[in-house]
A and B are shown apart, each in its own frame.
Chain A
């Protein structure tokens, strides 16, 4: 049973470009969470999605960031017009039943975004 998969593992973008980060949850998991980890910081919650629904996006910046989890295919975190401050590691986690902390979340290896 494959774990949570994220790609790409490393992504380099120039300022103003778009970044698309993909997350394939574990088989059978329908709940996905995105976190951002800045250097020397812990993880910060961004958004919680179920299939075709955004449940909680309170941790996501209002501008330039969006997330989706379609019926088919991976979850996508999209960052438009990237700036240097977007450079971070972005982690995806999935869980089978939801309820963000009662249900163990399984983390992917992360995507390290570097904005030049």
Chain B
């Protein structure tokens, strides 16, 4: 069965520091992978997605993610965070049965 694990429930970084949010998935075939961001009281916004091809995916707002098949991971990175990046981030996986499975999310806190 498909599953997504986001090991970190909360992450705190200083403004201007680099960021990496972890995501591990379980899926039998080539997965389709997504990162979404949810600001308080808002819906989800797609940051980036991986379907095939280059394993380093560029997204909006300066985010990128790297698909590593050997590690079943799709970690999200940003070289320098801004206070406006404080939000909850969800990793998700989709596959041949046409369903999207979301992780439980990682809440990002930014220190000034």
Contacts and interface: CB of A to CB of B under 8 A. Distances in A.
Interface of A: 4, 40-45, 56, 58-59, 91, 93, 99-102, 104-110
Nearest to B45: A107
16 contacts: A41-B104, A41-B105, A42-B4, A43-B102, A45-B100, A45-B101, A59-B99, A93-B43, A93-B44, A100-B98, A100-B100, A104-B46, A105-B46, A106-B46, A107-B36, A109-B42
Nearest to B107: A40
Contact of A42 (B98, B99, B104): B104
Chain B interface residue bracket vs A: 20 to 34
B53 interface: no
B43 A108 contact: yes
A41 B42 CA distance: 15
B34 A44 contact: no
Interface of B: 4, 32, 34, 36, 41-46, 49, 51, 90, 92, 94-95, 98-105
Nearest to A3: B43
Contacts of A59: 99
B43 A4 contact: yes
Contacts of A43: 44, 90, 102
A93 B45 CA distance: 10
A99 B102 CA distance: 17
Given A101-B32, A107-B36, A107-B43, 19 more contacts: A4-B43, A42-B90, A42-B92, A42-B102, A42-B104, A43-B44, A43-B102, A45-B101, A56-B98, A58-B99, A100-B99, A101-B100, A105-B46, A106-B46, A107-B44, A108-B43, A109-B42, A109-B43, A110-B43
